[in-house]
Amino acid sequence: MTKKLLFATSNRGKEKEIRRILSGLQGWELSFLDGFAGKIDPPEETGKDYEENAALKAIHYGTMAGGRFVAAEDSGLSVDALDGAPGVFSARYEGLSEDRDKAGALLEAMKGFPADKRKARFVAVVCLLSPDGKKRFFRGSVEGTIPGSARGEGGFGYDPVFIPEGFDRTFAEMSADEKDRLSHRRKALEKLKELLVEKA
């Protein structure tokens, strides 16, 4: 019997990545929030960390899931020199909403920092909420650095201002497949996928 999973994101960039990474998942019917447009407002993300925000979103959207499993994700970019900022505030850094503006604000905040002070990491946490209310968490991260300027046209969010460790290109300069192999979101989703395979 096919089980149903609602992945609670309205971010089109994330949805594309999630569809790619969870493709081929047997025994599950995957849906996204666009199938519930206008039925429920997004929650206020008040958690102190990625786990709390992911759980908050999963529980919030679980109210309309109709017996489905619900997965929700929270992710962000943490820069050591900025004491971990933007972190859980990555989606609303400096009160900005456009990806290009947020990336620009981050580059401005990093002006003057030498190469050895530009370490950063992307972190993603997925919360899986079962119909019985049980929560499971899956975390992934990737280390890297912040370049001096935005580079590349691919990806979304902070991809143009993040160079993964061991590479000289930003995520935005990589193909979708290449980024997926390295990304924090893939690492978290692969752990989720393992559990879903067991439950199918």
- Report pLDDT for 51: 97
**Is the overall model pTM greater than 0.85, yes or no?**
yes
- 45-93 pLDDT, tens digit per residue, is 889 999 999 999 999 998 877 889 999 999 999 999 999 999 999 999 9
| E strands present in 50-154 | 69-79, 119-129, 135-145
CATH for the stretch 3-199: 3.90.950.10
In this model, does residue 96 exceed pLDDT 60? yes
Is residue 74 annotated as a catalytic residue, yes or no? yes
> Could you say which of 74, 99, 116, 132 is catalytic?
74
- The rounded Cα 165 to chain-centroid distance in angstroms is 18
184-199 vs 12-21: helix crossing angle, rounded to 10: 50
Instruction: Render the burial of 96-130: b for 16+ CB within 10 Å, e for the rest.
Output: eeebeebbbebbebbeebeeeebbbbbbbbbbbbe
- Report pLDDT for 36: 66
- Position 13 confidence tier, pLDDT thresholds 50, 70, 90: confident
- Position 2 confidence tier, pLDDT thresholds 50, 70, 90: confident
- 26-39 pLDDT, tens digit per residue, is 899 999 988 765 56
Q: Where are the domains of the chain?
A: 3-199
- Report pLDDT for 173: 98
SS3 (DSSP) at 73? strand
Nearest to 79 by CA among 109, 50, 119, 49: 119
Rounded to an integer, the average pLDDT of 10-21 is 89
